[in-house]
Amino acid sequence: MGREFSHIARRCERAVVTAYRDLRAHDTDDVSAFLACTTLYRIHHPEASLNEARRLVAEWIDHHVVRQESGPTAGCDCA
């Protein structure tokens, strides 16, 4: 679980991936971890719709956690 996420450029993306991994490591079920991370994203981006937040969080979790890829991802324009 202690992976380095310095390659993730967006702070919100890094926060989401780190939170998801930490929640899952502490036995939080997948759906609850996903919902918490969606809320976290919307704290960073209150302008985002719920659907946009869910889509980005799902993409980031799939990319970084499920497929364990380290390349860039689609997402918001923040740094």
Alpha-carbon gap, residue 71 to 28, rounded angstroms:
27
**What pLDDT was estimated at residue 79?**
62
Yes or no: say if 8 and 68 are a contact pair by the CB < 8 Å rule: no
Residues 6+ apart with CB under 8 A from 64: 5, 8, 17, 70, 73
Alpha-carbon gap, residue 53 to 30, rounded angstroms:
16
Structure tokens at 47: 């302008």
With a pLDDT cut of 90, the percent of the chain lying above it is 70
pTM for this model (two decimals): 0.85
**What pLDDT was estimated at residue 7?**
64
pLDDT tens digits, one per residue of 27-70: 999 999 999 999 999 998 999 999 999 999 999 999 999 999 88
